[in-house]
Structures are given as C-alpha cells and as structure tokens.
Structure 1
Amino acid sequence: MLSKASKIAMILPNAQEGDVFMMGLGALNARNVTCFTSAREAYQVAVRQQFDFFVTRMEMPDLSGIVLVQKLRETGNYGQEVHLFVCEKLNSKIMNVLYEMDISYVLVSPFTKQLVSAKIAHVFQAEKDLPEFEQRFREARSAFQSNLLEMAESFARELESQNPTSEKVHVLLGDIASKNEQPDRMIVHYSNAAKVNPKSAVAAHKLAHAYMKRGDHRRAAQILNSLAHLNPYNIKLLENAGISNLQINDFEKAQSYASQLKTLDVKNKTASEVNVQVKIASGDFSGIADELRNSHDDKEIVAFLNNAGVKLAKGTDVRGALNMYQSCIEQLQDSKYIHAVYFNMGIAYKKLNDYENAASAYASAVRLKPDFEKAAQSLAECRQKLQETRRAS
C-alpha cells in the first residue's frame, strides 16, 4: 500500500513537468520524492535504492520509459512496486509491454495540474482498496521473487482454484516452473494461459520461451517471429527472437532483432552477443571486441569470446577458433584478462598436436599471469612432449 512515507521516483523530461506532478504528490503529503530528468541516471540510482512508486515518462531523451521499466524488472529487485506510466500517446505496442509487466495505471497527455492530481490520488486510493484476489496474487508473486517457490506455487494454486480463468495466475505458475527448470510444466501452464486469452501476446511469448528452454528453437522462432512486429518495445521478446533465430541459423532475422534492440537500448548485451555470434559463424572476427564494448566490461568481453572460441574448438573448426583467438589478442592487447585467451589458444593448438605453438601460447599466459598454475602445468607438459619428440627423431 502506498503512503506518504513511500519512496517515490519521478522520471520526467524536464523540471517544469516535474513541478506539475510534484503538486499532485504534495496534495497527498508525499515528501520522499526523487526527481530525475535522465532515465539512465534513474536506473543507476534505482538499482541501489528501493523505490515503492515510479512515475515514468515514455518519452525520455536518453532511454525510453518503457525500456527503463523492463530494465528495472530484469534486476530482480523489482516486481511489487507501483507504476504510473505517462505518455503523449498510448497504442497497442506500448500496452502489450505494460500488460506483460502488469502495469495498469496510465496517464496520457495533456498533463494539467487537475488531471495529474486526480490520477495520482486515484492510484493511491486504488492501492489502498485492492481486491482480496489481487492482494493474494501479489503475495504469491512476492514469494516467487524471493525464491520461495514452494510457497509461491501453493499460493498460486489456491488462486487458480478460486479463479481458473485468470491468465496471470497461469503465467505465474509457468514462471515458477521456469525457475524450477521444468520446461514441460512451463508449456502446460503457459498453454493454459493462452486458452484463457487466445489473443494474449504474453502467453504466446512465454510459451515460446518454454520451447527455447526445451531446445526447440525452430518452434520458438516461429512464434516469436509472429509476435515481434506487434511488440517492438518488448526487450525480452526481441532478445528471445534474436537468440532463437540465431540457433536455427537464420542470421538475417537474428541481426534484425539485434538492430531493433540496439535502437531501444544501445547497451543491450544480448543484441551485441547476437551480432558477434553471427560474425563468428561467418568466419569474420574483425571488430568483434568493439561490438561488445558498449555493453560488456573487459572481463565479460574476454569471457564471452573465450567461450565462443571453445565452442568452435570443441567442434571441427579448431582453425577457426585459433583465428578468433588471434583476432581477440590483437583487439584486446591492453586487457588484464588476455592471459585466458592465450591459455585457450594453447588448448586449441594442443588439439592439433602442434605442441610448439601450444607451448608458446601457454608461455604467454604464464608471462602475463605468473600465478596461473594450470597454464604453467600445461606449458611443462608441452615442453616435455617436445623433448620426447626430439629424442625420438
């Protein structure tokens, strides 16, 4: 329940608009209010401090409000907070995301003092007078977010028996199954949600995610491709669409979704990773580190590219892995984690029985990180193998 003591964040494009909303909050004696004119700054603060109520403008200059809401939910710290979403115009593409986020309070321009004050008063009153079913649902969702999954499922089952036509209860049961790594049960629950509301993009998206968890990326891609044009603001849907199409080697679609994600948020990690994986699949290793720099820190870049190289080496393309490692070394010369790339390069050379180059790579790893015992041991093994080969010849 909201009160005058609730922590409130207002994300609005200018101080003048902030003053209008502050008047509405002031009428309710709300004083614990923080105003932001930058959505990115609001995000950085909100991940460190917990806010109870957000007034969020869609049309923010640095990051749209609809993206901010989703990024906050992705942190895992939010889900029970109240949102008043503010926009110039409301359309089905925005509503689809708000529906998936379970956000029902919306205010559309014009933002007069009277309308703003009335809307804020309505939100506070509605939160005070929540129906019992909604209160119980929030308790179930709170347990889910706290990883009390048995409790969450018990609450959700009780709600399901009370109202078997509640789409969001079926979705919550599917989400619980997802956390329990039970894709078959996910499919059952999300299918039930789709039966309740056949036109629901939420149920369809969740069902596609369940197929991805089961490894059926082709079926997932079919669903997500049909949903994407209706949901151009849904970050998770576009991420899943990019990943599923990448998995079935439809690189053109995968890159198209990555491009959409970059338009929403230039720092989106999945978009960068999809673009890089498409380049790697085509044997083009140029600029892959630069592609990741906007979204990944130095350690994450090395880890991601190293893992990509390992996948190539574990398959049949060991030479491709070596080419990628060499490209990474050239692009990441100043990285303090580059020793890990040299180590994996040594493994790849060893797989080709090229102990000379393997020893050289391991030696570079040890030179850069003298306490790297695994690399030192591998270097010693390679040198011993080289000595044995020379003696034999």
Structure 2
Amino acid sequence: MLRTKRQWNEIIKLEKALLELFPGTTDTLLSIGEAQLASGDHESGLRTLQQVKLLNPSLSAQVDQLKANYILIDEEDELFDDLEPLDMTGPLLNALGIQSAILVDPDSAVQQSVKQVMAGAGVQDLEVFDSGQKAWDWISNGQQPSLIIMEWRTLDLTGVQFIQRVRQRLISVPIMVVSSLVSQSEVPLVKEMGVNAVVEKPFDNATLMAEIITLLQQQQYPTEQISMDRKIIQCLQLGNKVEANRLIGIYLSNPDYDDAGKRRMEAEYAFYEGHYMQSCTLASAALKQSHDSLELLNLLGKALMKLGDFESALKCMKKAQSLSPANIERACRMASLCAEMGDFEDAEDQLLQAKNLDAKNILVLEAEAQLALGSGDAERATKAMASLESLHRIVAFINNKAVALVRNNKFEEGIALYKSALEALPPPWGHAHDTVCYNLSLAHIRFSEYERALQSLEKVKSGPTTGIGKKAHSLRKKILHAQQTNTHLTISVEAKELNNPNDPKALVPEIDFAALVDGIAASQGDICCYRIFSSEGIASEESIKLFQKAPKLKQRRPAS
C-alpha cells in the first residue's frame, strides 16, 4: 500500500522500526535503501546499500540493480566511487541496534577488521583493549557494553578468568569468542558461561558479521533451543520471573525441543521460586534422559544445598567439576560445602583450586573470608574482605550460619561467629557492621538475654532514618518494654534475621543421587557437536562430504 502510494518516508519509518526489533535483517535494510533512493536522498540510500553489501555480500546483485533503477549510470559512478571504501564520516543506520561494543584482542589485524565491521554496521562506540585486565578495569568502573568480542588467550587476564568475572557482573550481555585457542577442556566452561558464539580464526569479515547478526537476533528473540535456554536462565537470574514464565510457556509448547530440556527449564523455575524438592525431582528426571548433564548437575547441587543434603550436593558438584574443571564459582561452592561438613582440609584444597584459577575473583575472596570466619581467623578474614566492593553476601553467610547454630542449640558457637565477624569486618564500619550487630541482638533475644541484646544494638551507628537504623530503634523499644513489663519478647516474622532466606519446608526427595551421578561420564560427542554448532568455514574436504550425506536440519540463521 505504501509503495503503491509512493510514500517513501513512511516506508523508511516503518522499516527502521522493524530493524530495531530484528537487528541486522538485510531485507529490511535493503528496503530502507531503496526507499531512500526513491525519495531522492541518493547519498543516504547509497550508504545504506553499502551496509547491505557488508552485512550480506550475497545481496550484491540486488543492490546493484536498485542503483541502476534509481540512479543514472554516470551519476551512480560519481557518487558510488566517492563512497568506496564506505565514507564513515557520513550518517549511517545502526543496523545492529546496539549502542556500544568492546573488543579484547592484542592482534592489530583483528582490531582493524572488527573496527571496519562495526563501523560499517553503524556502531560507532567500539572500545578496543589489547589485554583482558584493561577491559576488566573498564567494566569494573561501571561501563556496560551491548556486546563483547574477545580473544580467548589474552594478556594479563585469560579468557577463563575474564569471562567468569564478566558473567558475575553482567549476566545478559552477549559474548562472542573469536579464537582458535579454546582447548577441549575449556569448551564446557564456554558453554556454562553463556557464550553466544565461537568464531574460529582466521575469519573473513562477512563470516564475522553473519555471526554477530545471528547472535544479536537470538539474544533478542530466541528461536533455537540453546538460545531459549540461555534467555530463560538470564531472566531468572535477573529476577524477571514474569518474562521467564512466559518464555517457559513457549518453550514447553515447542515440539522441536526435547523433553529433557523442558524438564530442566521447569526445574530451574522451581528453584528460583524456592521449591527446592520439586527442583531436585525434575532435575533428576531430566538427568536420566539427557546428555547435557553439566547444567543439570549444577542445578541439582544447588537445590540439594538448599535442602541441607550437603553430601549429595558435593557429589553432584564434584562430578560437574570433573566435566568442567575451570569453573571458579563451583570450586568456591565446593569449599563451602566441605566446611559445612566439617572437612576443613578438603575445603582449603577446593579453595586453593579456585585461587589457582583466579585468586582475585570476587567469589574466591568471599569464599576465603567465609572459611576464615568459620575457623575464627579474623586477620585472614579481614584481609580477604578488604578487597571486596560489597560485603552483602558475606553478611548473609554469617547470619545464615549463625542462625543455624543458634537454632540447633549451639548458642555459644553462633554468638562467637557474630563476634568474630564484627572483629574481622574491615573499616570503615557501615551497613554490614550494623546488620551483624542487629542480628547478634536477635540471637541474644532468643535466650532472653535482653541486656546483651541492648548492648549489641548500641553499636549500630546508622541514623534512625535509615533502614537498619529504624529496625534497631524499633527493636530497642520492644526490648525495653519487655523488661519493664517483665514479659517474654518473641521474634516475629517482621523482625526475622536480616539477609536470612526462608528455610526450605520440604524434605530431600528419596532419590539415589550416588547412583545417578556415578552413571554420568564426560561425552566427547557433546564437545564435537558444540564445535560444529558454533563454528563456520573451517571444515575439511572430507568432513564436507560427510555433511552432504547427513540428515537435513533446520537452518540455524533466520533468513535475512
């Protein structure tokens, strides 16, 4: 209709809106270029058509035909020659729909190629770093790129270290690894960390652009099962359970997705809802019918931790670590589990493995602080905590552990943990210190030690207008009233310990976890399939012949 009426400006507006929804769609970009030419804006139209050729060289013939349709040959030659190579100083459409990107690679040739590709796609904000440490320092200062492109073997901070630090801070940013140096033992970690694509070196610009387009489209509107998995988990990690629930509904109704994957998504959702027994049951069922065991072992281990079955949880995590030995977060969890079971020697061994991977990782520092507090080593705990940006998780750990001790009639041990934490907290005193004081006061109230509870509240330095200050002031009034009326003060739901999650209500399901986990083995086939799925342009002549005889699968990349 718009074309019939030759309403070119309206077509441009409509197609630009579609391009924002479906980044990198070259048919849309081609339509915009045609409309620009038809409206008389030849310069913008030619630039847009040049972007089409860059994003999808197979459309070169259509681009040339459009130019021939709308521009006289002599005018075309003059204008087009001026734009080859593409004039980056002129206005370009942001064909990828991203605001910024970073490249981490010391190779100047790769830097130049990526700069050319991103600039041609209309992405002007590209930060380039020749080392992982420089890139991490930039991100640590609060920067949040829309896309990360990285070499695996980088200076100062390796891919193993950099990618895990990034995922701890930026859950949903898409990541592309451009490297031929990812070892087979590291491939599972790449998948665990939610890497969106792996491109082998050397590469050509057309291949790189095609992978970036697919990556961004799947990130925004996933159609592949692996992309949908990643999107749902990211929504859950970010606390967006409404969107996660919507996506799971689509996931469960898709007949192309396997049953094991569907059970896993149900198990993941149950975990984030706090239904840990249901999560265990679903994850166990999925594990029996799935080769994708790593994510399920992670989930099962976390759920068992919540249910207090530390022995089974540790078994799951040790198995997962044998499949992907470079996972820092899991090594730290295993150290925590060993400490919970009283095996401090094994806990230190697990912590040492995490340190060997990345001693400055925030999770490693937190794990060391937790082990030190548990053993009463305040000096070591202080040193570990001094490097942390936030003590929130440390305070939560202290409180959970101390509350568990107090509730199990180990009152003196719980009080000692609180006091050890107060001694170890590094200056300046702040919210973390006041939260521990408040929770210590609640522990004394449980045993009607009101004077000690008041003494602990006196150490809260936050003003009465702050959150913790208000709570401390309110609790102080309740204690004084109980003393004056000679009544017993009970801790209501509203006055429960800060940072202490709800205790799981369900019992551990009756599943033979030992037999289930023992039956899992590393699958080289999984690694091979992952490499085939993630790579292009590197097949040998023999492998190409094999692929020609293989069953036809759905096209991975949506048609442009």
Give the aligned residue type for 1:228.
Answer: Q
Q: Contact 1:205 / 1:224 at 8 angstroms: preserved in 2?
A: yes
Distance 1:205 1:305 in 2: 24
Identity over aligned pairs, percent: 18
Quote the residue 1:97 is aligned against: 189
Match of 1:153 among 238, 248, 251: 248
Quote the residue 1:251 is aligned against: 344
Is structure 2 residue 272 aligned with structure 1 residue 176?
no
Offset of 1:238 from its aligned partner?
2.7
Question: Deviation digits for residues 143-182 of structure 1, max 9, x if unmatched?
Answer: 66242243222211122x33436x6555334323323333
Distance 1:222 1:380 in 2: 49
Q: Contact 1:349 / 1:355 at 8 angstroms: preserved in 2?
A: yes
Offset of 1:17 from its aligned partner?
5.3
Give the aligned residue type for 1:377.
Answer: K
Offset of 1:68 from its aligned partner?
4.0
Q: How many aligned residue pairs are there? A: 373
Distance 1:273 1:233 in 2: 18
Is structure 2 residue 101 aligned with structure 1 residue 34?
no
Give the aligned residue type for 1:32.
Answer: Q
After superposition, residues 1-393 of structure 1 pair within 5 angstroms as 2-3=23-24, 4-7=95-98, 8-14=100-106, 16=108, 19-23=111-115, 25=117, 28-37=120-129, 38-44=134-140, 49=144, 51=146, 53-74=147-168, 77-78=171-172, 81=174, 83-87=175-179, 89-101=181-193, 103=195, 105-108=197-200, 111=202, 115-124=203-212, 126=214, 135=223, 137=225, 138=227, 142=231, 145=235, 146-147=240-241, 148-159=243-254, 161-164=255-258, 168-191=261-284, 193-198=286-291, 200-297=293-390, 304-305=397-398, 308-332=401-425, 334-337=428-431, 338-346=433-441, 360-365=455-460, 372-374=472-474, 376-377=476-477, 380=480
Give the aligned residue type for 2:429.
Answer: S
Structure 2 gap ranges (5+): 1-21, 25-94, 487-560
Quote the residue 1:391 is aligned against: none
Distance 1:326 1:231 in 2: 38
TM-score normalized by the length of structure 1: 0.74
Question: Deviation digits for residues 69-120 of structure 1, max 9, x if unmatched?
Answer: 44444557516x3x321345222222102233454632445x5xxx252541
Compared with structure 1, are the counterparts of its residues 375 and 100 closer, same or farther at alpha carbon in structure 2 (3 Å cutoff)?
Answer: closer
Give the aligned residue type for 2:177.
Answer: F
Compared with structure 1, are the counterparts of its residues 306 and 254 closer, same or farther at alpha carbon in structure 2 (3 Å cutoff)?
Answer: same
3-state SS in 1 of match to 2:223? helix
Compared with structure 1, are the counterparts of its residues 357 and 177 closer, same or farther at alpha carbon in structure 2 (3 Å cutoff)?
Answer: closer
Distance 1:329 1:178 in 2: 32
Question: Deviation digits for residues 184-204 of structure 1, max 9, x if unmatched?
Answer: 443454345434543743333
Q: Contact 1:359 / 1:383 at 8 angstroms: preserved in 2?
A: no
Q: Contact 2:297 / 2:319 at 8 angstroms: preserved in 1?
A: no
Give the aligned residue type for 1:91.
Answer: S
3-state SS in 2 of match to 1:34? strand
Q: Contact 1:255 / 1:274 at 8 angstroms: preserved in 2?
A: no
3-state SS in 1 of match to 2:139? helix
User: Which of structures 1 and 2 has the larger relative contact order (alpha carbons within 8 angstroms, sep 6+)?
Assistant: 2
3-state SS in 2 of match to 1:90? coil
TM-score normalized by the length of structure 2: 0.55
3-state SS in 1 of match to 2:150? strand
Compared with structure 1, are the counterparts of its residues 155 and 347 closer, same or farther at alpha carbon in structure 2 (3 Å cutoff)?
Answer: closer
3-state SS in 2 of match to 1:11? strand
Q: Contact 1:345 / 1:361 at 8 angstroms: preserved in 2?
A: yes
Distance 2:455 2:281 in 1: 54
3-state SS in 1 of match to 2:412? helix
Moved more, 198-207 or 286-295: 198-207
Distance 1:178 1:299 in 2: 22
- Which structure's CA Rg is the greater one? 2
Distance 1:348 1:317 in 2: 11
Offset of 1:335 from its aligned partner?
0.6
Q: Contact 2:102 / 2:145 at 8 angstroms: preserved in 1?
A: no
Q: Contact 1:24 / 1:116 at 8 angstroms: preserved in 2?
A: no
Question: Deviation digits for residues 196-233 of structure 1, max 9, x if unmatched?
Answer: 54374333333333433443321121122133243232
Distance 2:256 2:270 in 1: 20
Structure 1 gap ranges (5+): 387-393
Give the aligned residue type for 1:78.
Answer: S
Q: Contact 1:306 / 1:344 at 8 angstroms: preserved in 2?
A: yes
Offset of 1:275 from its aligned partner?
3.0
Distance 1:252 1:49 in 2: 39
Quote the residue 1:389 is aligned against: none
Give the aligned residue type for 1:151.
Answer: R
Compared with structure 1, are the counterparts of its residues 291 and 385 closer, same or farther at alpha carbon in structure 2 (3 Å cutoff)?
Answer: farther
Compared with structure 1, are the counterparts of its residues 246 and 6 closer, same or farther at alpha carbon in structure 2 (3 Å cutoff)?
Answer: farther
Q: Contact 2:335 / 2:350 at 8 angstroms: preserved in 1?
A: yes
Q: Contact 2:286 / 2:296 at 8 angstroms: preserved in 1?
A: yes
Q: Contact 2:197 / 2:215 at 8 angstroms: preserved in 1?
A: no
Distance 1:88 1:186 in 2: 37
